[in-house]
Amino acid sequence: MAPSAWRPTSLDRLLIGTPHYPEHVDDSYLERDAARMAECGFNVIRLAEFAWHLMEPREGAFDFSLFDRAIEVFARHGISTVMCTPTATPPRWLTMAYPEVLRVDTHGRPARHGSRQQADTTSPVYREHSRRITQAMANHYRDHPHVIGWQTDNELNTTASESYAPGTAREFRRYLSARYQTIAALNHAWGTDFWAQRYDSFEQVDLPFELAPSFANPTQVLDYHRFLAWATAAFQHDQVAILRATNPGWFIFHNLGQLRDIDFRGEFTTDLDFLGYDVYPFLKDEIERTGCHAHHQAFMADVMRGYAGNFIVPEQQSGLGSQPGFATPVPEEGEMQRMAMSSIARGADGVLFFRWRPAHFGAEIYWNGILDHDDVPRRRYEEARRTGTTLQRIGSRILGTSVRMDVGIAGADYDNQEAHTTYPLGLPSPQGASLPLHRHCFEQGLPCGFLHPEDDLSRLKVFFVPHWVIWKDEWTERLERFARAGGTVIIGARTGTRDANNHVIRDTAPGRSLSALCGITVEEFGLLPPLDGLGLTDKLNRPEGALVLPTRPAESSRRAHQLRVGDAVLPAAHAYELLKVRDDAADQVTVAGRWDTRFVAGQPAITIRRVGEGRVVYVGTYVTDALAALLLDAVLADLPIKPLLPHVPAGVEVTLREGEGRSLLFILNSRAEPVVVPDVPAGLELMGDRPHAAGALRLSAYGCAVIQVSP
């Protein structure tokens, strides 16, 4: 059974610390590093994730002496160790002797030694080597009192997840044979009568190469990514099984990076005690241009909690972040603490600042840490010390609590995220489509998060399904029970329009069960041009590369639509659906919004159906920032939800963690100037260890407060 979004960790302490790399310095650094970390209130370090070459310098010959020395030095200062399996970076003797373990790209070029994640985790040969080093490490540290847990690998699939090696193709065929049993079943699932793709045996099946020479079969692509997720989980399971059998008392987690080809409802997560997520908000903002790294950090923390409940942060940015291809800003005074407290506010039960000191060599020499290259403690060290000692003091009050959610967003479904990528139509992904509603909740101080429809929905007031094309009828039953008990369900456009094989359904959208629940059918669907674009298609993909289109508008650029909701008129984005109220639900459904332009004018766009004590809202378009505010503040103004504070100033993040007899109100300032937050309830302000009288609270630039309030 998949873990719940409400699950706390089983940790006996709030983890505070840093990754350390004794292989990058000589032993003379260890004692002063440990002493300084103890001054910072740190209670844990992470070791060895990139050190396979030192622990197994030759096949079958092991040497753990460097890490033995480091563990003992840090233990004398009260600091425990999390060890890592080092399988993200195989040693050179391995890739020389067993070249078949290397990933191969779509052009047939094998990966090269000298980087990381060059090994193909689908390879049985590589899995055997992974098991050997894991078993050797587990045996060596079996009874070590200061090794308290393990991290599997490092950011699986972040640098690369795909491989097109002959060995990968063989494993893919084995996976398909086990999944479908017969080639006839595969042909049906893949719809191979399109473009004469039918197969006579599993041996004829190849990997789905992009543009080979035209577009690949979408279901073949989906199954390839299902296979990669299965193989990733199997690779990790090898390690977890060894560690659990060796010492059941160890906790085990993985530190997630890019979240590629990992199925969080499957074995990957059920194997682990909790998840870890590496937090680099500035990097995300540089890559995705989010415009607000504070919100994006909160968004991703909520996404992470939706996978498996409370988590830890094994790496949090503490300085300039850089590899040769990119760079990020340096956190300003107070931002290290604010980022740490934001993660904790949204479910983290541990934070490790990355890294203790920067490397003097390699591809991350300018990925700075708490200390600088010259080993001199400066402002980032002082901020780590203030944050660490504070968290050490208040950590016991935080552990055992979970994050309040009144508004839930459907998440943690691998098939839906991947099915979207196989045929996106230029539309936002399910996760991307949830950003506007989440952003509105963040800005208003509404308790919000993500969870799967199979999770416990009873604690929610609102549940939003952001355009899930693949749908199961049993999920409809769960949504109906939630609505009948008083909940509000919001269903986004295009939900339920494909089946488990990634085929478009033959019933009228949104499918039988959702149509009955919502009381509507979708009579027409179409795409809308970007509001500032030149047409629906910006470029065409061709085998020789992308074909850039002329910089003049297409006819489609003029075919925009507007939406009228009450007296408000707002532009629609991405897609439109024309809705029809079912005859058998005419007395239960009201039209809350209509199209207001061109040939669709006057036709239903948003409907509300009363279901028991609650209601089901169907939105025949994609939710924008303006529409999210309109839905929650006007259309559904009688919702039994309210902000955690009456007035939330711009740039202030407000979250509540609750446990038995405890309610912790986190109030964080993401702005570079002080802010006054009005109408804050009375309680004990934990970070300053002082009482707060009901009323205004002043926060410094990037300032943080945690107030224990009456439950």
**Catalytic site residues?**
155, 315
Dihedral-angle region of residue 486 (phi above 0 means left; psi in -120 to 50 means alpha; beta otherwise):
left
Closest Cα partner for 575 from 539, 608, 540, 624? 624
Sorted by sequence, the CB contacts under 8 Å of residue 181 that are 6+ apart come out as none
- Report the length, in residues, of the chain: 711
Tell me the DSSP string of 555-595.
GGGG---EEEETTEEEE--SEEEEEEE-GGGTTTEEEEEEE
Question: Could you count the other beta carbons within 10 Å of the beta carbon of residue 386?
Answer: 16
> In the beta sheet, which residues pair with residue 608?
590, 617
Tell me the DSSP string of 391-415.
HHHHHHHHTT-EE--SEEEE---HH
Token pair listed for 295? 């919100």
CA 482 – CA 455 distance, rounded (Å): 11
Spatial contact of 306 and 347, defined as CB atoms under 8 Å apart: no
> HEC string of 280-325?
CHHHHHHHHCCCCHHHHHHHHHHHHHHHHCCEEEEEEECCCCEECC
Please state the φ and ψ torsions of residue 105, each to the nearest 5 degrees: -85, 180
- What's the angle, vertex CA 390, arms to CA 387 and CA 394, rounded to 5? 135
The residue written with tokens 């939800």 in the block is 641
Helices (H) and strands (E) in the chain, counts: 19, 31
Sorted by sequence, the CB contacts under 8 Å of residue 512 that are 6+ apart come out as 473
Tell me the DSSP string of 473-508.
HHHHHHHHHHHHTT-EEEEETTTT-B-TTSPBPSSS
CA 20 – CA 690 distance, rounded (Å): 34
